[in-house]
Structure 1
Amino acid sequence: MLADADIHALESHLGTVVRENQQHHDNLQNLLQKFQELLKNYNSLKSDYEEEKEGRERYKRLARGQERNPFVLVLIDGDGYMFKEHLIKAGSDGGITAARLMQDSIREILHDRLGHQADQCRIMVRIYANVLGLSKTLARYGFVGHEARSLSPFVANLTSSQDLFDFVDAGDKKEAADYKIREMFRLFVDNNQCKHIFFAGCHDAGYLNLLIPYSGRTERITLLKAASFYHQYNTLNLPIRELPQVFMSTELPGIHTRDSPSQVPIQSQIIPPSPSRPVCRHYQKGICRYGNTCVKLHIQPSQYLSKVSDDTSSISDRETLSPRTHDYYAANLPTTTNPFYGDSIPINKTGDRIDTYCAAPSAEARELYNRRPRFHRPCNNFHLAGQCDLLNCEYDHAPLDDTSRSVMIYILRQNPCGAGLSCRSIKCFLGHHCQKDRCRGTKPCKFNRHAHSLDLQIATWVPALEKEDNAASSVSDASEEASPSDSDNTFGNPNIDTLS
């Protein structure tokens, strides 16, 4: 038998073995747990890596796709950038020539800017304009015929001669071309396939806000200069180039008649009436659909004489006072005060004030406006000037809808300002020249003859004055003559002399 000491030694040794075995078990469990965590982290990292790898491959495929088919975009406001006279007069052939010249000119600029990459870039041109209104404008200068959309052959051939050239008719709505150009610019300005944008809208200060965020981006944008160029575009720190072979370098109203008798515009030639061929009135309005096949006589109003007279002075007067239409005023007058100049007044080269365009209201708008004054006449000061200084004003300050407000403005514009063309009041809502459709300056029109033939080309903008006493007195006189029942000459209230 074992002695007691041996038994205690074996018991102690057995306890040591059990403890070491338990510690070994604990270490093994801890190792297995850490291994499981390591394996879990590995699987998570592997998943992230696969996603990152897939995203990188997708980006590479996208980048390779964007590098394919690089192009440059040329955005042109066709209402302000006029093609050269000889191109327009050439009609359909002129459209083809204009497209080729534009392609060559842009390509030449691209070589200076992009170097060898220019050969890989295609040129996409988008021209937006009111084709009907532009046709009428060009017809007045003898560049095209007086048929409706007489510029169409030029437009169609310019579009068809190059695959990526489009001359788009934006319609006759105000600023329709502006909206198109703005959206096209926003669509492509950050597109990687679009390597550069040539912007041809610098005649209109309304595009400044569009371009200001990209000031200094010389690698993305180049401004194209034509006849009219607002000097504020120089502050954008963008390169400015010209296409002298494509666009006119002088504004359209400055074009003079030719010395050669064969080139004298048709307007200056007097054609006696023909009993066998009546005059086509649609042609004179620019809406004849039959063109050269029309059986009626195609002459302008200034060419037609009811009887042949040797009195050359009467002929001159008739040509000088040829009536202007609403379309003429819409095309030549500013639509709003220039936002860049703030409270400033547009004037022509002789210092005469030019009004913003005021469209004639519809019969429904007139009726809507005339219903209100029968009950309570609206206060002109409050609704137009923005405030009324009379403590106990007897006229209505209740909210006025936009339609009635536009009628009020139109009615005021039918009455001449007492200060005349020298008025510089920012709050003067009277007229400074006539805007009536085809008005010849005879009664009942209250404007003088000069107000019907005023040069409407803006030369500059001058600071406005808050108040002019002479303008105020004239308004008071005009309001006293107005009758509430006369929709053309009605004022909302006689206290309008504080509007100046």
Structure 2
Amino acid sequence: MLNDQEINRAAAQLADYRRSDALSRILDHYAVLIDDYKRLKSDYEEERESREKYKQMAKDQERNPFVLFLVDGDGYVFNESLVAKRGEGGSIAAQLLNDEINASLRKKGLEHCQVMVRVYANVAGLSKALAKTGLVGGESRSLSPFIASFNRSYGLTEFVDAGDLKENADFKLRALLRLYADNTQCKHIYFAACHDVGYISELMPFSGNSTKFTLVSTPGVRFHDEFTKLGMGIDEFRAAFRHSSLDGVLPYRQPNGTAIKPATAQSKPNPPFKQPLGIAPPITNSNDEPRPVCLLHSFGKCRYGKTCKQLHVDPQRSNPQQLTDLSSPPSPSPSGKAMMRMASPVDPSIVLANLPKSDNIPDGRVAVNSNNYRLDPYQPPVSPDTISRLKARVDKRRVCNNLHLLGMCEAGDRCEYDHSPLDDEFLPALQWLARSQPCPRRGACRIANCFTGHVCQNLECKQRGGKMFCRIPYLAHLEPMAVVSYVPGLQKQRKAASSSSESSTPPGARSALPA
């Protein structure tokens, strides 16, 4: 019970509290704090939303990176041997060009990027110029079969008819150049239009970002000296484009705007050039017009045989004097020109027999050819019956290549592939199927025990005139198969159970067999 003194003190405190109005001030201050909190929260939410949008935009910019290959098709004309093949030549041209681009990207560390090819040309005018050389027919757009085949070879590869006006192709290339030069998803731009000095003004603003650009040169087009002053990289692409000038295409332009006509028979010839690997040069004599060499026959069998319009030349020979002589006078062709009978095609098995035997490759080393390209040990053909029986087992569960080809698997019991014993008769079949999968490092691979393929050893490959689909890149079929040296390999692993393995698995390829 409170005494009177305590009661009086409490009453005095209550009266003081009522006179000071402290609760009202506290409530007002609290209301101000709530308003400030709401405003700060709103600002924070806006800032967070902006930051999330920026992070998402940056993430999207790193998704699906690609490189752009721009071609002025009026000046950079495709190889005559490819154009003459019409539809078939278009797909080969697309493959050759993409292989060359991918080889260049590997040097730049951009092999993870997709390749977008855009070729713009006056198709009617180009067809007319090519018709004069006899490579295509006299129709207004006789190059169309070649273009259609080129376009359907790769999803991001397009040959576009820019129209009949002279500057249409220039207009399209300039627009795409400005669009993608500042696009962060576009990691690199190849520019194949260095025959025309008019493009200098378009490239000049990007000279500060010269590492993003590569200027393309080719033996058939004179590379303008002014382009070298931009400080951009320069790469030469030889396989897909012509090695000589073509009358009727856009001429070379000097800085003052005057044009120099393409070289004629009386003008100074172009400097000598090197043919694509494995392909013999066109052959002529005093009575015959030049004819391109058949690409398919140069490394195997051509499906057209004697009816092929291209020259059939032994790929091991480049001297026209080594051709077989005519046993009778040549009969005139429908055009009235003489035809030559060439030597019989070389059996692909003879060419592949030049590959090294696995026992001849020193331990820890890699066999390379004259181009420093990786060669695989010779793999004897495996009977289809053995491969079929191996695939019947694989249908149940895919086998582990690391264990069966290298003798070890780091994943052990955690490996998702089959580790159960494999019959000895299936080992060559497993090696054969592993070699049918292309190595992502291509001919630059130096992993000594890499068991994926670097060159094609399939005699029925469609690139050799057969019917079987081949995953090995086209240019790998043209590489010389003879060993020049054995270079040191990397991280050689020893096989515990057998010495028949020559390679190691690339990342993510522990089982090369199809599912």
| TM-score of the two chains, using structure 2 as the length reference | 0.45
- The structure that is helix-richer by fraction is 1
| TM-score of the two chains, using structure 1 as the length reference | 0.46
